[in-house]
Amino acid sequence: MNAQDVFPEDLPSSATQIRVEQTGGPEVLQAVETGLPEPGAHQVLVESGAAGVNFIETYQRSGVYPMEAPFVPGSEGTGTVIAVGEKVESLSIGERIATCEAATGTYSTHFLVDSVKAVKVPDEVSDEQAAALPLQGVTAHYLINSTYRVSPGETVLTHAGAGGVGQLLTQLLKNRGARVITTTSTPQKAEIAQRAGADYVLGYEDFAEKVKEITKDEGVSVVYDGVGRDTFDGSLASLAIRGTMVLFGGASGQVPPLDLQELNRRGGLFVTRPAVHWYLRNAEERAWRFSELFGLLTEGELRLDIGGVYPLAEAARAHEDLEGRRTTGKLVLKP
């Protein structure tokens, strides 16, 4: 591959980024013009088709999760490869890719990603779908396949059943043959969770007692909890003996320290706190997860709920809507 193939001369001269100069409210998300990033060894430059918006980015923007400013939010996106760095063998200029592990922020018209952390996107998948699927789809996939592998016939509790991860979890669990109990905060969100296939949709008040009623006091095999502080105790109380508590997020706040002896008192429970990067360790693992997800999507077995598509310049409005819980499903930014 010669130098012209690696970095063509007809590339745009600049990129537009949504940058955070200092942490704060959504208003700190400001569009700026900058030079086009140049791919290093093993990297590709992607012209963005769409970027996914995730709750963790509100934590980074506000300072809950410390970030070194200035920074461009976003790790998830899709687009077309327009330049490749040295030693890239798996991708070529013109191919569409998706990732949830971008090397530079995806709230931008262009971003960099390590070639081994990008996957090719089938032609049948739109940019909006390819941007909406990676992080939440991979999360749902690793939760039910790797963190705790659900078997047909098992009863499972998930929270926030109308959210992006919640809807995907329910669909994948039903595809597996599990019985799904989920929680939502409003009747409107309950309808969304039911459309995703949940067998039981509960409110958050006294949900543990209702779970025990549904399971005839046995409890569930596993709880997938991305809410955190407000649901954690109830989630533990919902588990069967030797059940598994999977805490994969903290939308309501972080869970306080846990006395491990409490796990013994409640029936020899298991607790784990996974994160997506521990489940994308190599190219083979990425290929497995994405191929199954894209396959289910193109076959019509998996439905993506895209709750809003916003112009890139209106990233602040997307954050306002997300934090105000005015949305369901996945939010996407389009350059």
Q: What is the spatial distance between Cα 102 and Cα 97, in angstroms, rounded to a whole number?
A: 11
**Which of 279, 296, 322 shows the shortest CA–CA distance to 168?**
296
> What mean pLDDT comes out for the span 291-306?
96
Q: How would residue 1 be classed by pLDDT, with cut points 50, 70 and 90?
A: very low
pLDDT digits (tens, 9 = 90+) for 18-76: 999 999 999 999 999 999 999 999 999 999 999 999 989 999 999 989 999 999 999 99
Report the first-to-last Cα separation within the chain, whole angstroms.
30
Angle at the Cα of 236 from the Cα atoms of 231 and 241, rounded to 5 degrees? 160
Residue 223 has pLDDT above 50, yes or no: yes
What is the DSSP annotation of 175-205?
A: HHT-EEEEE-SSHHHHHHHHHHT-SEEE-ST
pLDDT digits (tens, 9 = 90+) for 138-184: 999 999 999 999 999 999 999 999 988 999 999 999 999 999 999 99
Residue 5 has pLDDT above 90, yes or no: no
pLDDT digits (tens, 9 = 90+) for 238-277: 999 999 999 999 888 889 999 999 999 999 999 999 999 9
> What pLDDT score does 2 carry?
39
> What pLDDT score does 6 carry?
59
Q: At residue 77, what are phi and psi to the nearest 5 degrees?
A: -175, 175
18 contacts 29 by C-beta, under 8 angstroms: yes
> What pLDDT score does 4 carry?
41
> What pLDDT score does 251 carry?
84
Measure CA 126 to chain center.
17
> What pLDDT score does 13 carry?
86
What is the DSSP annotation of 10-57?
A: TS-SEEEEEEESS--SGGGEEEEEEEPP---TTEEEEEEEEEEE-HHH
> What mean pLDDT comes out for the span 202-220?
98
Q: How would residue 7 be classed by pLDDT, with cut points 50, 70 and 90?
A: low
pLDDT digits (tens, 9 = 90+) for 105-146: 999 999 999 999 999 999 999 999 999 999 999 999 999 999
Q: How would residue 232 be classed by pLDDT, with cut points 50, 70 and 90?
A: very high
Partners of residue 329 on adjacent β-strands: 163
**Which of 131, 153, 187 shows the shortest CA–CA distance to 328?**
187
Q: What is the spatial distance between Cα 43 and Cα 97, in angstroms, rounded to a whole number?
A: 13
Whether the model clears a pTM of 0.75, i.e. scores above it, the answer is: yes
pLDDT digits (tens, 9 = 90+) for 275-297: 999 999 999 999 999 999 999 99
Q: What is the spatial distance between Cα 274 and Cα 249, in angstroms, rounded to a whole number?
A: 9
Q: At residue 134, what are phi and psi to the nearest 5 degrees?
A: -55, -60
Helix, strand, or coil here: 312?
A: helix
> What pLDDT score does 3 carry?
39
Which domains does the chain possess?
A: 3-133+304-334 (3.90.180.10), 137-277 (3.40.50.720)
